[in-house]
């Protein structure tokens, strides 16, 4: 790392601007399209990049003409459930793997590691058959349950519990605390940071899911936004302004979470990467 | 995406000695902790995985039925030119997207690895595509790459082209347009991982090289980057596995077309087993071939990391 000399600024700044423009450009164009009135052309460069007469009509149309609100609510429900199951299951399992001696623990750990590289697409058809066999097809529960356990989250929590010094748990046990009291009052409060990371990642992951809800849901009224928006862009509306408005609505929640929880997200992701 | 990011740590940790044995609990205590996740995994992970191996040797439909047909699916697969074209395309995807992802991410990470003012603002913006849903990115780029989309407007505005470039409607070009979308989205995560590695590099070697009079570029290429070689290999492997699984981009943006020019392995698997096809047996055979490809790439990464450790 070097300090900011004048020459460095001269080289780095323009390059950084180009990089940021490449990332933000498509998104800003989307915002611009969404704000354009019905009579305004969406093509032509650079003249029409800024909407001449900005309007929020397209957002209103998106919510009124197409069931966008329903899609958003479906996504919120799926993400909330996905986040909750990820956090709860990862915490319980991670704790057991880290601090409870039980028969088959190393076998289970190995099995988890082995399946961590298994792409979901490989078991896509079979998972659909199993989920349908359980009568869960076309239900939000059927969307959530097959992806409720995050192996990555389990290992993030396992690492967090491993870092807690033994003395802490032993002291509580000597004071007469049962295993669940130790877990609840000693262990959980010590892993708050990792819990935050797993929560944020759980939300972002669920919001991103596409292929599985696409496969298991057939009733458009149950679609999450991701599936809904592509379904709309393909079938109903040819109006790019409305689709752009809908796309922006879908992007706002993850961006909001990301910018609010930046520190946690970065810590979680880079902790994982650093030790690779 | 996050699954991939943390995976290597998982692997290194597994080789560490297990923690000292804890106090013994009553038999049901571990079960209460592991049970809920285990039940879900038995149902939605281990059972489907085993079932995939069984189905691949049957002519089962997703509607039901099916009898054992031995290797019939696999012999059919061997002579299925549509499948091998999909495999070929997926590997082309990999050969284009992986180097692009690695090179661009490394350059970006080096670029923002500075204390220059403003970088703190640039970084989060640069990483933000990481959290945007891929399905929505695909919808955005569908318009962006359209004949009167932003890219063509810019090219025309700069008078670089006289006719709109058929990014998505030309069979020879469509696959590469899709890789561009993958790279746009993927760079965010891989740049973040590379940047994290760069920030852990010791400054001493760099300072020594500086005293020897080496310029910035030589120090970066000759001193800094070799120190993060492990991370670079890792992101290449992660990107390779991700490209083997590519589905959302072609499914949404081109629907596998024009013709079948962007039909990848997973798109074909989807078409055979889910929609419009219902051939669960054949789709499972395709799944297993995909699994073999992914395992091959993973074992390459395992071999490399073992060699690095030795």
d(Cα A22, Cα A261) in Å, to the nearest integer?
A: 24
- Residue that has been written with the tokens 């099916």 in this structure: B66
Angle between helices A57-65 and A6-35 (to 10 degrees): 50
pLDDT at res. B243? 96
Of B31-40, B105-114, B156-165, B226-235, the least confident: B156-165
| pLDDT exceeds 50 at position B226 | yes
pLDDT at res. A177? 82
How confident is the prediction for chain A on average, in pLDDT?
A: 86
| pLDDT exceeds 90 at position B244 | yes
pLDDT at res. B217? 85
The ipTM is 0.89
pTM as predicted: 0.89
SS3 content of chain A, % helix, strand, coil (to 5): 75, 0, 25
d(Cα A91, Cα A109) in Å, to the nearest integer?
A: 15
d(Cα A261, Cα A196) in Å, to the nearest integer?
A: 9
- CB-nearest to B51 from A33, A102, A129 is A129
pLDDT bracket for residue B108 (50, 70, 90)? very high
| pLDDT exceeds 80 at position A233 | no
| pLDDT exceeds 50 at position B11 | no
| pLDDT exceeds 90 at position B121 | no
Q: Is the distance from CB of B304 to CB of B248 less than 8 angstroms?
A: no
d(Cα B169, Cα A254) in Å, to the nearest integer?
A: 31
* Share above pLDDT 90 across residues of chain A, in percent, rounded to a whole number: 47
| pLDDT exceeds 90 at position A126 | yes
Please say whether the dihedral angle defined by the alpha carbons of residues A73, A75, A79 and A82, taken in this order, is positive or negative: positive
Residue B115 to chain A, least CA–CA distance (Å): 6
Residues B264-290: pLDDT tens digits? 999 999 999 998 999 999 999 999 999
Of A67-71, A184-188, B204-208, the least confident: B204-208
Residues A81-116: pLDDT tens digits? 999 999 999 999 999 999 888 888 999 999 998 888
pLDDT at res. B95? 97
pLDDT bracket for residue A236 (50, 70, 90)? low
Residues A16-66: pLDDT tens digits? 999 999 999 899 988 888 888 776 766 655 556 677 778 888 888 888 877
CB contact under 8 A, A273 and B197: yes
CB contact under 8 A, B134 and A30: no
Given CB atoms, is A229 within the 8 Å cutoff of chain B? yes
Chain B residues within an 8 Å CB radius of A22? 184
pLDDT bracket for residue B4 (50, 70, 90)? very low
Of A101-105, A211-215, B18-22, B177-181, the least confident: B18-22
Pick among A8, A12, A113, A121 to test the B interface (most B CBs inside 10 A): A121
pLDDT at res. B30? 87
d(Cα B290, Cα A185) in Å, to the nearest integer?
A: 46
Residue A193 to chain B, least CA–CA distance (Å): 16
- CB-nearest to A46 from B41, B128, B157 is B157
| pLDDT exceeds 80 at position A232 | no
Of A117-121, A207-211, B23-27, the least confident: B23-27
CA-based angle A119:A125:A126, to the nearest 5? 90
CA A10 to chain centre: 37
Pick the most confident of A39-53, A56-70, B80-94, B117-131. B80-94
* Share above pLDDT 90 across residues of chain B, in percent, rounded to a whole number: 59
Q: pLDDT: is B201 or B185 the higher one?
A: B185
- Residue that has been written with the tokens 């031995």 in this structure: B70
pLDDT at res. B101? 97
Q: pLDDT: is B59 or B22 the higher one?
A: B59
CB contact under 8 A, A126 and B196: no
Of A51-55, A243-247, B72-76, the least confident: A51-55
């Amino acid at each position: 790392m070097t300090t900011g000399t004048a020459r460095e600024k001269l080289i780095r700044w323009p390059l950084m601007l180009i990089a940021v423009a490449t990332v933000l450009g498509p998104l800003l164009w989307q915002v611009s399209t969404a704000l354009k009135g019905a009579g305004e052309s969406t093509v032509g460069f650079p003249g029409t990049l800024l909407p001449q007469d900005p309007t929020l009509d397209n957002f209103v149309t998106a919510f009124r003409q197409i069931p966008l609100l329903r899609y958003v609510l479906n996504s919120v429900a799926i993400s909330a459930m996905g986040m909750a199951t990820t956090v709860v299951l990862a915490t319980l399992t991670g704790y057991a793997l880290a601090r409870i001696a039980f028969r088959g623990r190393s076998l289970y750990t190995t099995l988890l590691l082995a399946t961590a590289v298994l792409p979901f697409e490989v078991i896509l058809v079979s998972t659909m058959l199993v989920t349908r066999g359980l009568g869960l097809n076309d239900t939000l529960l059927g969307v959530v349950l097959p992806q409720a356990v995050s192996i990555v989250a389990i290992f993030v929590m396992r690492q967090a519990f491993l870092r807690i010094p033994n003395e802490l748990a032993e002291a509580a046990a000597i004071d007469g605390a049962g295993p669940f009291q130790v877990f609840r009052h000693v262990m959980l409060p010590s892993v708050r940071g990792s819990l935050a990371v797993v929560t944020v990642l759980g939300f972002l992951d669920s919001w991103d899911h596409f292929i599985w809800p696409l496969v298991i849901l057939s009733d458009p009224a149950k679609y999450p936004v991701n599936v809904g928006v592509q379904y709309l862009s393909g079938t109903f509306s040819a109006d790019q302004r409305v689709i752009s408005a809908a796309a922006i609505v879908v992007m706002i929640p993850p961006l909001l979470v990301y910018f609010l929880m930046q520190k946690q997200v970065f810590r979680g992701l880079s902790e994982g990467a650093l030790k690779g | 995406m996050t699954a991939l990011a943390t995976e290597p740590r998982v692997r290194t940790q597994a080789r560490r000695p297990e923690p000292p044995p804890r106090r013994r609990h009553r038999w049901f205590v571990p079960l209460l902790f592991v049970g809920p996740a285990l039940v879900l995994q038995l149902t939605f992970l281990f059972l489907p995985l085993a079932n995939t191996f069984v189905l691949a040797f049957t002519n089962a439909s997703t509607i039901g039925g099916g009898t054992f047909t031995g290797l019939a699916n696999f012999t059919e697969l061997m002579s299925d030119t549509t499948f091998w074209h999909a495999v070929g395309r997926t590997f082309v995807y990999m050969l284009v997207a992986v180097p692009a992802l690695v090179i661009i991410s490394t350059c970006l990470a080096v670029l923002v690895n500075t204390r220059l003012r403003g970088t703190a603002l640039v970084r989060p913006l640069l990483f933000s595509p990481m959290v945007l849903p891929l399905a929505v990115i695909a919808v955005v780029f569908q318009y962006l790459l359209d004949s009167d989309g932003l890219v063509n407007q810019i090219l025309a505005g700069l008078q670089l082209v006289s006719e709109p470039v058929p990014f998505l409607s030309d069979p020879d070009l469509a696959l590469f347009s899709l890789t561009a979308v993958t790279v746009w989205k993927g760079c965010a995560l891989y740049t973040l991982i590379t940047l994290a590695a760069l920030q852990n590099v010791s400054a001493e070697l760099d300072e020594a090289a500086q005293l020897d009079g080496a310029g910035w570029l030589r120090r970066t290429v000759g001193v800094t980057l070799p120190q993060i070689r492990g991370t670079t290999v890792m992101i290449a492997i992660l990107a390779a596995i991700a490209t083997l699984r590519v589905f959302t981009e072609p499914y949404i943006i081109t629907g596998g077309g024009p013709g079948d020019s962007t039909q990848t392995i997973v798109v074909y698997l989807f078409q055979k087993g889910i929609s419009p096809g219902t051939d669960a047996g054949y789709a499972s055979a395709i799944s297993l071939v995909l699994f073999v490809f992914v395992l091959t790439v993973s074992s390459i990464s395992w071999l490399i990391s073992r060699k690095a450790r030795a």
